[in-house]
Amino acid sequence: MYGIKEAAAALINAEVTARQLVDDCLARIEDPTGEGARAFLIVYGDAVRAQADAVDQARAAGHSLPPFAGVPISIKDLFDIAGEVTTAGSHVLDDQPAAVRDAPVMARLKQAGFIFLGKTNMTEFAYSGLGLNTHYPPPLNPYDRQSERIPGGSTSGGAVSVADGMALATIGTDTGGSCRIPAAFCGIVGFKSTTWRIPRDGVIPLSKTLDSVGPLAASVACCAVLDDVMSGGAGEDVEAFPALGLRLGVLRNYVTENTDQAVGEAVDQALVRLSKKGVQLTPLTIEELERLPVINHNGGYVGAEAYAWHRDLLESRGGYYDPWVYARFEAGKAQSAADFICLAEERAELIDQIHCQTRHFDAVIMPSVAIIPPTLEELKDAEVANATNRLVLRNTAIGNFLDRPVISLPCHEPGQAPVGVMLMGESGDDRRLLAIARGLEDTIQLDQQKIFNREGSSWEPLLP
């Protein structure tokens, strides 16, 4: 499977046609033995083939085309596309009018030449990090499919579409980890942007304070290109920062509690490899993070803002909600105006306090998710599902609360359970963080031909 830049170059050099790329993706989506029927809610099929043919004909005729004309990607079912009802993985909005225009971020991607294969499955209204949806069965995780493990959410279908080669990349949203959790669980790269960098008009909100738009793909380069397009650029990659001398703060408290052994070992080994490459690793304890559960005990921004958006729908269309999601929305009404004001004040204070502790580092590194993907069977009990959801979201939600760019990279050994490690930068330094991730990507993502050992490493294990 091509990366985005490689696909664009191959198309320009006539090494492949847009129709070939689209047909390959559609064949994987339509494979009855695969996960396409669960990964996608809508597949554009013949319309996509026609778009690809039009691109090929225009290119053959020598017409000037956008840089990524003919590159097929998938999009989450949260983004407005003109002429379609945006349903957010739910039946609640089935009676709503079709969108009049594309969401601005979708318009930018179309202008750059990307072809949308279809809209992908997701947690209903993006309100969970597990990827479960009672309306639409979730696609199974690419790892250990026999055990029926979850894909992570809420960008569940998008992550599986990339991991299974059904799309070259996907566009998701991230309110508490919805790009990075499924990326970590599915063994790909997921990027959460600083909130204000990419427009969110025409995107059904979960929390207008915390929502962000981001890409999921097989590489940092693919994410960097998509990030540039969505933030108003021409689709530029970033130049990799050299690893030697980079300073990373390694979070040791809060984010490492209740961590699976497989996760701890994979992250430790990634840190060993980084140390061998000359990265300066400094243990970092940020006591203020322990306040996050207390600050958000009433549901935080998501609880209040999600309830405000859904309040009328909960009354008029309540029977169409997943009961588990409905209960979570209803819980948001308990938060008072005073609670919300205090939340905003505490958030601002925490942002300042943590910035003072991290600003001397090039980035902060931590496990993306504390556990490997659990099975559907394990989550049938509602209490277990709620507890697992909180644990899965714990680490990723830090970046949203602090409004920082964060990227998740796979760090597990090939063939083992998928594990992600996150790099978190300072607010607004998205392109710099992507450049840092670009420089560390090959070291973090374990090369099967290069197995490092701990001998001679100056790094101590992250976990006891």
At residue 362, φ and ψ (nearest 5 deg) are -75, -30
Q: Tell me if residue 154 is catalytic.
A: yes
Q: Tell me if residue 427 is catalytic.
A: no
Sign of CA dihedral 427, 439, 69, 203: negative
Which residue bears the tokens 């497989």? 262
d(CA 201, CA 220): 25
Q: Which of 76, 119, 192, 276 is catalytic?
A: 76
d(CA 177, CA 396): 5
Q: What are the C-alpha distances in Å from 428 to residues 2, 193, 199, 289, 363?
A: 30, 8, 14, 21, 13
Q: Quickly count: other Cβ atoms within 10 Å of residue 226's Cβ.
A: 30
Q: Checking DSSP bridges between strand 115-120 and strand 72-76, what pairing results, if any? A: parallel
Q: Which of 74, 90, 128, 154 is catalytic?
A: 154
CA proximity to 39, closest of 106, 137, 146, 130: 137
**Cβ 148 vs Cβ 140: under 8 Å:** yes
- Which residues in 259-282 are b (16+ Cβ under 10 Å) and which e? bbebbbbbbbbbbbbbbbbebebe
Query: What's 418's DSSP letter?
Result: P
Q: Which of 90, 178, 368, 408 is catalytic?
A: 178
3-state secondary structure of 271: helix
3-state secondary structure of 14: coil
Query: What's 78's DSSP letter?
Result: T
CA proximity to 42, closest of 161, 175, 207: 161
Q: Directed axis angle between helix 220-230 and helix 430-444, to 10°?
A: 170
Q: What are the C-alpha distances in Å from 167 to residues 116, 120, 133?
A: 9, 11, 22
d(CA 185, CA 188): 8
Q: The tokens of 221 are what?
A: 């380069």
Q: Tell me if residue 380 is catalytic.
A: no
**Cβ 40 vs Cβ 118: under 8 Å:** yes
Q: What's the N-to-C CA distance of the chain in angstroms?
A: 39
Torsion of CA 377, 378, 384, 389, to 10 degrees: -90
Active site residues per annotation: 76, 154, 178
